[in-house]
Amino acid sequence: MLLAFCVWMLFSAVAVNLNKIGFNFTTDQLFLLTALPSLSGAILRVPYSFMVPLFGGRKWTVLSTVILIIPCAWLGFAVQNPATPFGVFMLIALLCGFAGANFASSMGNISFFFPKARQGSALGINGGLGNLGVSVMQLIAPLVIFLPIFTFLGVRGVPQPDGSLLALTNAAWIWVPLLAVATLAAWFGMNDIGSSKASVASQLPVLKRLHLWLLSLLYLATFGSFIGFSAGFAMLAKTQFPDVNILQLAFFGPFIGALARSAGGVISDKFGGVRVTLINFIFMALFTALLFLTLPGSGAGSFSAFYLVFMGLFLTAGLGSGSTFQMIAVIFRQITLYNVKLRGGSDEQAQREAVTDTAAALGFISAIGAVGGFFIPKAFGTSLALTGSPVGAMKIFLLFYIACVLLTWLVYGRRKPKQQ
């Protein structure tokens, strides 16, 4: 999971540097490159969410990890030639989305191994480790691009104004050997369990449930914000505060969010996912409102305030990702158990269907959540292109968070969800 997120968010570190090595892409094009992996990742999460019950966690993890070597290797070659068309980078960015799809199958697989009382913690820790990959990549990539790692393969850095050599190939190729090791580890170290086997047809009924779509909106607001901010924060900061070397600081936001996600699952197991999620959305709206005060407008703005407020957004987006996933696991388990008992099913059948339905719901909802990774950086890019400011995009985010406060309270905060 950690390596998958490193590959998924690769362009968040690469796009910022493309024009430094001879390319001439517009700001909107660079934002698009950071957004595309989330778009393809969101789409691919739907079929990926059904793969573990079909093939088993071990085999699918091996195959899905091998696939990730392709965009890393290709990107390493593409950045060496300044004549590489923008369309090629778009295709590579879309291929990076396969890494984001891994999340759906991994979270679904994890749900088979843990009982209801521990699912919030298990899902939170697994998701948190995955989210940590964004921070790891954004910490490592800015360091390795200035090191002569692959000179034995003919890789040469591009001279920079400060006299350094920028080898952007390193940011992509550094993950290839690690992915190879992870593939071997999955093959020899993972296990499949018989109860995880299920047909696609047996998983599709969850799509008819209203709560799947409502919870998808909540997860879009939390995880979608985390992955969207992770993808677009560096580019946004560069456009607003061009004198700041943001790549030295960008990793800290995803790091906070990853730790918060793990904590969010644990806290939700203790105090309830609905309560934690409701309070969290209030703070997300508050931090978004404060962000308006930090941006350059009539004045120069304040980078320190901008950075601190954004760290608050990363914190709440991560915490909310853990709490909403705990809600999903608990609510779908309750609904399935109720429905099976209602039609006269046995306890064993109810437990079996609850596990399958919960895994399918987690996978599908994670696909919806990943759309935020496309929408947020694309919204920033479009807003900047049309108005010269990200304020238009931020107004939309603020309204959405307020709507999620109301949705959480009205549907889940006042009463238990109807069994449908």
The more confidently predicted of residues 109 and 354 is 354
| Helix spans in 112-161 (H) | 116-144
**Start-to-end CA span in the chain (Å):** 32
DSSP 367-391: HHHHTHHHHHHHHHHHHHHHHSSSH
pLDDT cut 70: percent of the chain above it? 87
pLDDT cut 90: percent of the chain above it? 58
DSSP 45-90: HHHHTTHHHHH-HHHHHHHHHHHTHHHHHHHHHHTT-TT--HHHHH
Task: Please work out, in degrees rounded to the nearest 5, the angle formed at the alpha carbon of residue 378 by the alpha carbons of 361 and 287.
Answer: 75
- Topology at the third CATH level for domain 2-413: Growth Hormone; Chain: A; (1.20.1250)
Side-chain half-sphere CA neighbours of 245 within 13 A? 3
Angstrom distance (rounded) from CA 216 to CA 219 = 5
C-alpha distances (whole Å) from 369 to each of 22, 105, 141, 254, 372 are 35, 14, 26, 16, 6
Write the DSSP symbol of residue 149: S
pLDDT confidence tier of residue 200, bands split at 50, 70 and 90:
low
Angstrom distance (rounded) from CA 372 to CA 357 = 24
pLDDT confidence tier of residue 394, bands split at 50, 70 and 90:
very high
Write the DSSP symbol of residue 295: S
- 114 has a pLDDT exceeding 90: no
Q: For 308-323, how does the pLDDT look when each residue is reduced to its tens digit (9 = 90+)?
A: 999 999 999 999 999 9
Q: For 217-259, how does the pLDDT look when each residue is reduced to its tens digit (9 = 90+)?
A: 999 999 999 999 999 999 999 999 998 988 889 999 999 998 8
- pTM equals 0.83
Q: Which residues, at least 6 apart from 31, have a Cβ–Cβ distance to it below 8 Å?
A: 15, 232, 235, 377, 378, 380, 381, 384
Q: Are 354 and 338 in contact (CB under 8 A)?
A: no
Task: Show me where the domains of the chain are located.
Answer: 2-413
| pLDDT at site 418 | 53
In three-state secondary structure terms, 166 is strand
C-alpha distances (whole Å) from 319 to each of 54, 279, 313 are 31, 11, 10
| CB burial of residue 140 (10 Å; 0-12, 13-18, 19+) | middle
- 420 has a pLDDT exceeding 50: no
**Beta bridge mates, 166:** 158
C-alpha distances (whole Å) from 65 to each of 27, 174, 185, 335 are 31, 15, 11, 33
| pLDDT at site 401 | 98
pLDDT confidence tier of residue 75, bands split at 50, 70 and 90:
very high
As a whole number, mean pLDDT of residues 127-153 equals 88
| pLDDT at site 24 | 95
Q: Which residues, at least 6 apart from 64, have a Cβ–Cβ distance to it below 8 Å?
A: 4, 48, 51, 98, 101, 102, 105
| Token reading at 55 | 């093939």
Angstrom distance (rounded) from CA 373 to CA 375 = 6
Kindly report the backbone phi and psi dihedral angles of residue 313, in degrees, each rounded to the nearest multiple of 5, phi listed first.
-65, -40
Name the nearest CA neighbour of 14 among 63, 75, 105: 75
C-alpha distances (whole Å) from 292 to each of 287, 299, 306, 323 are 9, 13, 9, 27
| pLDDT at site 27 | 93
- 195 has a pLDDT exceeding 70: no
The more confidently predicted of residues 41 and 367 is 41
| Token reading at 341 | 């008992």
As a whole number, mean pLDDT of residues 272-281 equals 94
**Beta bridge mates, 165:** 159
Residue 166's identity, in one-letter code, is: L
| pLDDT at site 199 | 54
As a whole number, mean pLDDT of residues 148-152 equals 94
pLDDT confidence tier of residue 348, bands split at 50, 70 and 90:
confident
As a whole number, mean pLDDT of residues 384-411 equals 96
